[in-house]
Amino acid sequence: MANTFTTKGLTKTYGEGAAAVHALRGVDLEIPKGEIVVLLGPSGSGKSTLLNIIGGLDRATSGQALFEDQDLTAMSDRDLTLYRRDHVGFVFQFYNLMPSLTARENVELVTEIADDPMDVATALSMVGLGDRMDHFPAQMSGGEQQRVAIARAIAKNPNVLFCDEPTGALDSKTGRAVLHVLNDVNAKLGATVLIVTHAAATAGMAHRVIHFADGAIRSVKTNAHRLSPDEIAW
Ligand SMILES: Nc1ncnc2c1ncn2[C@@H]1O[C@H](COP(=O)(O)OP(=O)(O)OP(=O)(O)O)[C@@H](O)[C@H]1O
């Protein structure tokens, strides 16, 4: 099957000389289309740096990062912006919703500029919030706010969903509900889902688990049997 992402010898160095930080030290990676991939590793091992580069938010120092057959490392800034706008959804730990807008309006921020968006009501129904569309973020729980953030990310029909600690601020019950939604998005929309997390047990629901250490991949494992979010220890 085709890969959503392929990287070859990807490096990222911040700063220069004695102060240089080698955040990525030559990463060769394949992320097949339609998989849920969980990226684990200690703080500072380079996970967010990798996510930022393949998400089109930052540039590599050397090496190649392909999205399908397009070379992100060779793209102009404008093409990277179009790549993010048309293909990529982001979900962060702290939701980043606009507090003065309702759930519906938060999702509309994306559907108004996307190329081929979903209906707003469809996106919010997919995350189980079809009946809360006119609520403001302050009227919703953390898990509900995260589900609005996921609805916003999927409403553009992205090829790939990047999730940086998506359950980091949630208790086990709401965290599991959010993982169910990510499972659904993967199964129903076919989107490749990349989750960066310190919650190692989340790896149980992945098709593929990548362990990062010191700016490089230490291991890649595929799960013969994937767990349901309900079976994950918290
Ligand atoms: N903008 C920056 N300028 C300088 N150094 C940076 C910058 N961003 C990250 N780094 C450094 O690069 C290394 C990798 O950081 P990165 O954020 O990718 O790690 P991480 O695995 O995502 O960590 P965490 O799990 O804590 O989020 C760290 O040593 C970090 O201090």
Q: Give the pLDDT score at 127.
A: 86
**Pocket of ligand 1 contains residue 46 by CB under 6 Å:** yes
Question: What pLDDT score was predicted for residue 234?
Answer: 77
Query: Rounded CA gap, 150 and 185, in Å?
Result: 9
pLDDT in tens, the chain (234 residues): 589 999 999 999 999 999 999 999 999 999 999 999 999 999 999 999 999 999 999 999 999 999 999 999 999 999 999 999 989 999 988 888 999 999 999 999 999 988 889 999 999 998 889 999 999 999 999 889 989 999 999 999 899 999 998 888 888 888 888 898 899 889 998 999 999 998 888 999 999 999 999 999 999 999 999 999 999 887
Q: For residue 179, what are the domain limits?
A: 3-231
Ligand 1 centre to CA of 18 (Å) is 17
ipTM of predicted complex: 0.95
pLDDT computed for residue 137 by the predictor: 96
Which residue matches tokens 């080698």? 22
Q: Is the CB of 49 under 6 A from ligand 1?
A: yes
Taking CB atoms within 8 Å and a gap of at least 24, the contacts of 97-101 are: 97/137, 97/145, 97/148, 97/149, 97/152, 98/137, 99/136, 99/137, 99/138, 100/136, 101/136
Q: Give the count of domains, the chain.
A: 1
Picking from 207, 175, 186, 203, the residue whose alpha carbon sits closest to that of residue 30 is: 207
174 Cβ below 6 A of ligand 1: no
- Cα–Cα distance for residue pair 144/129, rounded to 1 Å: 8
In testing the pocket of ligand 1, which one of 16, 39, 49 has its CB within 8 Å of the most ligand atoms? 49
Select from 24, 43, 198, 218 the residue to mutate for testing ligand 1; criterion: most ligand atoms less than 8 Å from CB.
43
Q: What would the DSSP string read from start to end of 75-122?
A: --HHHHHHHHHHHEEEE-TT----TTS-HHHHHHHHHTT-SSPPPHHH
| CATH number of the CATH domain containing 93 | 3.40.50.300
